[in-house]
Amino acid sequence: MRTHLVLTLLPVVSAVSAFQLPFKLPFFNQPSVQQPLQPTNTRPRIAIIGAGSGRGRPIRERVVHRRACVHHCGHFVRVLTSISSSTGSTVVFPHDNTSLPAIELGASIFVKANKNMWRAVDEFNLTRRDFRDDKGMGIWDGEKLLFTVNLIPPYLASGGWWSWWDNAKALLRYGFQSPRRTQAFVDKMLAQFLHLYSPEAPKWDNITHLSSTLEWTELVSQSTSDYLRSEGVSDKFISELVEASTRVNYGQNADEIHALEGACSLAPTGASAVQGGNFQVFEQFLKRSQANVYLNTTVKSISPTTSNRWVLDSDRGSETYTAVILAAPYHSTKIQVPVDVSSRIPTQPYVHLHVTLLTTTQPSIPPQSFSLPASTKIPAMLLTTFEGARNGGKEPEFNSMSYHGLISEGEWVVKIFSKKRMSNKWLSKMFDGKVGWVLRKEWDAYPVLPPTSSFPEVKLAPGLYYVNSFEPFISTMETETLASRNVVDMLLKDSFESGICGPAGTPLNDTDKEDYVFGWDC
């Protein structure tokens, strides 16, 4: 299938002296001085190519072009996008009935430390919805229910592991030190993460350097298991609670995924999502950028001209741009680029994820579905560990399976993440034949994130920038907005001697503001 891409065009005025970006509150302010309108062919123009939804990519990519453009553009913007990505429907309705609660298919939660997402929700007057799901959690290893508790782990709620210390069962199984050390590990990562929003936020053209600036080199070069073990966290805690988290959040095991992403998956989520779907945030970014949007466009190639520009060949024809931001995973775009560019982009494998949503009249999974004694109470949220399989047992059929509340009297909705398609037969067995509506989606949901010390280049060539270079480092909705901000800042500096916060490159005011966010408050 052809990949339809999001193409965002940002024409800006040509004369550098006349160049007045709406640096202050770029999301809302128009440039105060109307620029003289120049013929299109002499205006510098910037194209942003983001991933379309042909393959149902989750919203991660879609953040990119909207954010990038938004930081930039005042009224000189045109956007090309694919229809489905601009409507961005990553929510679905049980029974396809829009009167029922919307359910997010993919990445669905963000935290207060995700300052761009948080701020956008506030600025755009959207409503946050807190997840409150305290019906308990269990860890399934494919054959046995290893542990159940009437709490959910902090990485799926708010607060910290201390809430677990009130729970005798959890304390008995995992002790006091492992949760405490894990908490310290996550807190330290988060404290560093917050620098990315400060007035002195680092800017990077080399992610290896950024990693070192943030003191994350050790994290990113080791697996989550190895790192936590070296911090004195017990094997049992790692293979059960930590692995349950890396599996539910990234579809990867704790001994496969690097410790920076492991820490992200363990961060307390405070579990917020936007009422009606997170996609609205990106829709608003796009709308408020006042960019022109071109739908359903396939970009075929990007090639340099002799005059330091770039020609985009798309099904809209060929057009020349001052600069191009590639905001899609290059290898899945099938875009032709010069060899000296493509050779700089390492292949990035993805975890292929199957999402199965269904409704059932079973209030919980019957224990006989797992061949467990009839007295067993199966918790509403089942997470998994690979530990059984590691020791020669059976691999869990799914990464996670959880009840997501009632949709009507006596009918619940359940979400399953798995590596393979969940057959009707399996579903029927699991819910004792009581399966109503079923919806399946699959996509390359997460990058495969092994320990590493090298990253793709942010700037692929003069005037050609790659947002997704950030993905092997950290991959979340939020960090894509950070990567976009960085690329736009760099592009503005390279082309116009001014960053997103003005020519000085540093914010001029509001830096004392509580909850200051670089890019929003400068």
Using CB under 6 A, list all residues that contact ligand NAG.
83, 97, 99-100, 125, 206, 208-209, 296, 408, 457, 508-510
Strands 435-447 and 381-384: unpaired
User: Least separation, in Å, of the C-beta of 95 and ligand NAG?
Assistant: 6
Judged by beta carbon, residue 127 or residue 423, the one nearer ligand NAG is 127
Judged by beta carbon, residue 101 or residue 179, the one nearer ligand NAG is 101
Q: What is residue 293's three-state secondary structure? A: strand
Q: Which residue has the tokens 């899609």?
A: 328
Q: What angle do CA 268, 272, 278 make, to 5 degrees?
A: 130
Q: Please choose, from the candidates 153, 147, 206, the residue with its C-alpha nearest in 3D space to the C-alpha of residue 173.
A: 147
Half-sphere exposure of 146 (CA within 13 A, CB side): 22
> In the complex, which residue's CB is closest to ligand NAG?
509
User: Least separation, in Å, of the C-beta of 328 and ligand NAG?
Assistant: 17
Beta carbons within 8 Å of 252's beta carbon, 6+ residues apart: 246, 351, 446, 448, 449
User: Least separation, in Å, of the C-beta of 436 and ligand NAG?
Assistant: 12
Encoded amino acid at 130, one letter: D
Judged by beta carbon, residue 280 or residue 385, the one nearer ligand NAG is 280
Tokens representing residue 89 in the block: 């429907």
User: Least separation, in Å, of the C-beta of 298 and ligand NAG?
Assistant: 7
User: Least separation, in Å, of the C-beta of 291 and ligand NAG?
Assistant: 19
User: Least separation, in Å, of the C-beta of 206 and ligand NAG?
Assistant: 4
User: Least separation, in Å, of the C-beta of 125 and ligand NAG?
Assistant: 4
Judged by beta carbon, residue 241 or residue 414, the one nearer ligand NAG is 414
Q: Residues 311-320: contacts with CB within 8 Å, 24+ apart?
A: 312/7, 312/47, 312/49, 314/5, 314/7, 314/80, 316/80, 319/9, 319/45, 319/47, 320/45
Judged by beta carbon, residue 198 or residue 509, the one nearer ligand NAG is 509
Q: What are 110's strand-pairing partners?
A: 272
Judged by beta carbon, residue 252 or residue 298, the one nearer ligand NAG is 298
Judged by beta carbon, residue 272 or residue 296, the one nearer ligand NAG is 296
Burial profile 277-300: b = 16 or more Cβ within 10 angstroms, e = fewer: bbbbbbbbbbbbbbbebbbbbbbe
